[in-house]
């Protein structure tokens, strides 16, 4: 990554880094929403994967032998570009022609829950940092055991 005129992305700290992080989140959300990354949003005529040979993929992602990753902090724009490339060259598991016994698209509610968990910067297995989620978990499990998976 090169150091351009934009300021480097900082994950925590002052108000400008907060605004930058918010802009990054908005960019990723638009990628997910508009890029066909949710089930039912993929054009059937599009490719399941935009395949490149590993050496070509390395170069396209800017990670080839001449890459300067870590030489200087990446700007927000560079991170957004990398997110776009990652989405472009990844398998589209939401595509109607993607068939796999282990994977099948993205559940929007599960994705929202995962994002919320990450935003809370915690985990779901320790009561002292996750009281509300730990209280909800046994009720969910019991519901599945008693009523079956289709009732929540």
The whole-angstrom separation of Cα 87 and Cα 127 is 35
Give the count of alpha carbons within 13 A of 21, CB side only: 10
Give, to the nearest 10 degrees, the angle between helix 76-88 and helix 15-34. Answer: 20
**Whole-number Cα distances in Å, 131 to 59, 125, 139, 143:** 46, 9, 13, 19
Q: Which residues pair with 41 in a beta bridge?
A: none
What does the pLDDT read at residue 89?
Answer: 92
* pLDDT tens-digit map of 8-40: 545 555 556 788 888 889 999 998 888 878 777
Q: Which two tokens stand for residue 82?
A: 């990398």
Q: What is the pTM of this model?
A: 0.63
Q: Is pLDDT of 1 > 60?
A: no
* pLDDT tens-digit map of 42-68: 788 888 899 999 999 988 988 877 777
């Amino acid at each position: 990554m090169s150091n351009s005129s934009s300021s480097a992305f900082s994950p925590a700290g002052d108000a400008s880094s907060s605004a930058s992080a918010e802009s990054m989140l908005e960019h990723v959300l638009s990628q997910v929403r508009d890029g066909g990354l949710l089930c039912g949003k993929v054009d059937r005529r599009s490719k399941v994967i935009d395949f490149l040979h590993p050496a070509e993929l390395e170069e396209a992602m800017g990670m080839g032998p001449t890459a300067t990753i870590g030489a200087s902090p990446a700007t927000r724009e560079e991170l957004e570009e990398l997110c776009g490339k990652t989405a472009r060259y990844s398998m589209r598991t939401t595509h109607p022609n993607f068939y796999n016994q282990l994977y099948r698209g993205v559940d929007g509610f599960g994705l929202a829950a995962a994002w919320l968990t990450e935003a809370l910067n915690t985990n779901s297995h320790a009561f002292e940092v996750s009281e509300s989620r730990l209280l909800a978990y046994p009720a969910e499990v019991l519901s599945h055991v008693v009523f079956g998976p289709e009732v929540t």
